[in-house]
Amino acid sequence: MTALRNEQLVNPPATPQESELARTSSRLLAACIGHGPTARLRMIDGEQEIEVPVAALRMLVDILANMAEGNAMSLVPIHAELTTQQAADFLNVSRPYLVGLIDRGELTHHKVGTHRRIYFRDLMAYREQRLTQSHAALDAMAGEAQKLNLDY
């Protein structure tokens, strides 16, 4: 997916050493995360402690783990507005297909002038709904295969 407007794309590490550093950092940070709502960090370069939400640390662990695997990442605020092309890229579908989803009322959108925009949260809800429907259909097919004694 292309980086969204005003969002920074985090590129994968350039060297195997950077990849291993990301992997090690991810593991060490994950092991330090407690169960409370916040965590305190102390930077080696100073005496000041920084209190951060545990959710932010979990995001950092995920970013480091993805970097270690060579995956580029982009953080997108849930309230971000995407163009139809950006939304299509995210869903890995064509723009005309996405516009069809909008026209059929399957995907919520709003207009900015004459342009359609999709909130990222609505796109995530649509994707989650489709995944749930896909899993239900696969479960139904597996059930039918078992009833018919098919060896799948």
Q: Answer whether residue 3 is part of any domain.
A: no
| Helices and strands counted in the chain (H then E) | 5, 7
Type and span of the H or E element at 105? none
Between helices 16-32 and 54-68, what is the axis angle to 10°?
150
**Looking at residues 63-82, what average pLDDT do you find?**
87
Write the CATH number for 41. 3.90.1280
Domain boundary at 51, 74, 97, which?
74
In this structure, is residue 57 part of a structural domain?
A: yes
User: Is 142 contained in some domain?
Assistant: yes
pLDDT tens profile 99-115: 999 999 999 999 999 99
pLDDT tens-digit profile of 37-56? 777 777 777 777 788 888 88
Residue 102 covered by a domain: yes
- What values do phi and psi take at 115, rounded to 5? -100, 140
Looking at the structure of the chain, the number of domains it has is 2
The pLDDT score that the predictor gives to residue 76 is 83
